[in-house]
Structure 1
Amino acid sequence: FPAQGLTPDKDYKILFSGKHDSSVMGVNSGDYDGAAVASDVYHRMGTRGQINEDNFRVIYRSQKFPTSSFSYAYDLEPKFRDQMLKCFYDYRFTPEMVKTFDGADRFVPVTYLKEWEVVRKVAEGSGESFNRTAYEKESAREEAARKKAAEEKAGKK
């Protein structure tokens, strides 16, 4: 968060828990001092009783952004792409899903350039980015962690 006067690796250490809810639980248990998480995940955890929101202090709120999405390859056959998109946009969520997603009742189109700009800026401010190189780096890190866990498990037998 350089725009807020906070410098990564000086004012805070960057760790990746792998999931927003894991980050929230890490702060809740005292494993992390703070975490950048999607507010809808955080509030849903409070509503479900997984955390007490009064035990947290929110220090920054970004503009709203889509927290999950479906994507497709840019080179899909156009007729198939259009039929697939129509299925998504025609679908209406069940009442339970509407409740879970704060009243949203359908999928809406989003773009990487516009709606995900705030996410890219947060990532870039922490020294990461959403590009192929970053994806490959994270994939390699995850694979190394899986391999290490498997080796440790095999060593305990």
Structure 2
Amino acid sequence: MLPALVRKLVLGGCALAIAASAVAMDPRYRDADGDLVADLPADPKQWVDPATLVFAYTPVEDPAVYAKVWEDFLKHMERVTGKRVQFFPVQSNAAQIEAMRAGRLHVAGFNTGSNPLAVNCAGFVPFAMMASMDDRYGYEMEIITAPDSGIQRVEDIRGKKMAFTSETSNSGYKAPSALLREQFGMEAGRDYEPVFSGKHDNSILGVANRDYPAAAIANSVKLRMEARGVVTPAQTRVIYRSQTFPTTGYGHAHNLKPELAAKIREAFFSYDWTGSALAREFNAAEPPQEKFMPITFKEHWAVVRDIDSAMGVSYACK
């Protein structure tokens, strides 16, 4: 579980004093109840009740692999909602956010770092997160290197390339950038060369194959890749591990018909993971991910919004 959410960010013992998180929801949305997510439109004519629900999982790894992983769950959602459900393979966080903003995406799992952008720019309403049976959840940001890279500590990255995933990623960019600047006095472009791999698995494979001297990644992705035999634990070495962050947030578009939105929530919380492809893929995490637990964006993403404040991230929609 995360520690108490206070107005400072703690990364591996380094406290970063920051200002209160700013909220900049797009003018097309309203938040009258102060829960920091878009309200259902007051006019029922603006409610959406599509014949086919489109679902997208965060683009951290090969979409073809995850289409099979999610297949049984999406069939369950079809039974609960009475709708056809289509898996939509997205190639980037930006494409996923734009799809929901444009009304082409109805249900999604957005990664940790892109959740605030999806909420503020696309009307995303997160309500669930994977967790263990005893409600433990989350992952850590790790900075990894190859065992024979010559990098023994974070300071040794100075003068070398540092791989990030994308600028919207919490563990793949925002948290490690804040850490390198605040705790180690290292600025991108001056003290190290930032490169972007696009996805966590690309960064992990890049370190394992000696393409990158070091990389910032989500250790949950690395554990799943190790469980599938894509990489071995011996191919990477951890030189920094953060405290725990929330993992992928699952939710729906704000303007779905209320009865449909309720059925979508029911599908998540009534799904039996026993023997499922989801269980085979996500039980390998630590803590194991064995169910969907209820969450709120206001509470569970406070630490992520604090990192964004520390980094000067804007939620302005382009």
TM class by shorter chain equals: 0.5 to 0.7
TM-score (normalised: structure 1): 0.65
**In the aligned structure 2, how far is the partner of 1:87 from the partner of 1:76?**
15
Deviation at 1:116, TM superposition (A): 3.6
CA distance change for structure 1 residues 99 and 113 in 2, over 3 Å: closer, same or farther?
same
The structure, 1 or 2, with the larger RCO (C-alpha pairs under 8 Å, 6+ apart) is: 2
Paired position in structure 1 for 2:294: 109
CA deviations on 1:102-148 (whole Å, 9 max, x unpaired) are 242222233444434455556666x5847354xx5xxxxxxxxxxxx
Residue 23 of structure 1 corresponds to 203
Q: Are the aligned partners of 1:23 and 1:37 in contact in 2 as well (CA < 8 Å)?
A: yes
Q: Does the Cα contact within 8 Å between 1:26 and 1:32 map onto a contact in 2?
A: yes
**Aligned with 2:271 (options 74, 88, 91):** 91
Q: Report the count of equivalent residues.
A: 133
| Residue type at the aligned position of 1:97 | L
Higher-strand-fraction structure: 2
User: Paired residue for 1:61?
Assistant: 241
- Map 1:1-157; keep pairs closer than 5 Å: 1=179, 2-9=181-188, 10-95=190-275, 96-102=277-283, 103-119=288-304, 129=313, 131-133=315-317, 136=318
Q: Distance in 2 between matches of 1:77 and 1:55?
A: 48
Task: Provide the identity percentage.
Answer: 35
TM-score (ref. length: structure 2)? 0.36
**1:117 to 1:14, Cα distance in 2 relative to 1, 3 A:** farther
Alpha-carbon separation, structure 2, partners of 1:64 and 1:80? 33
Tell me which protein shows more helix as a share of its residues: 1
CA 1:51 to 1:121, structure 2 compared with 1: closer, same or farther past 3 Å?
Answer: farther
**Ranges in structure 2 where 5+ consecutive residues have no aligned partner:** 1-178
CA distance in 2, matches of 1:109, 1:14: 36
Tell me, in whole angstroms, the C-alpha distance in 1 between the residues paired with 2:314 and 2:211.
26
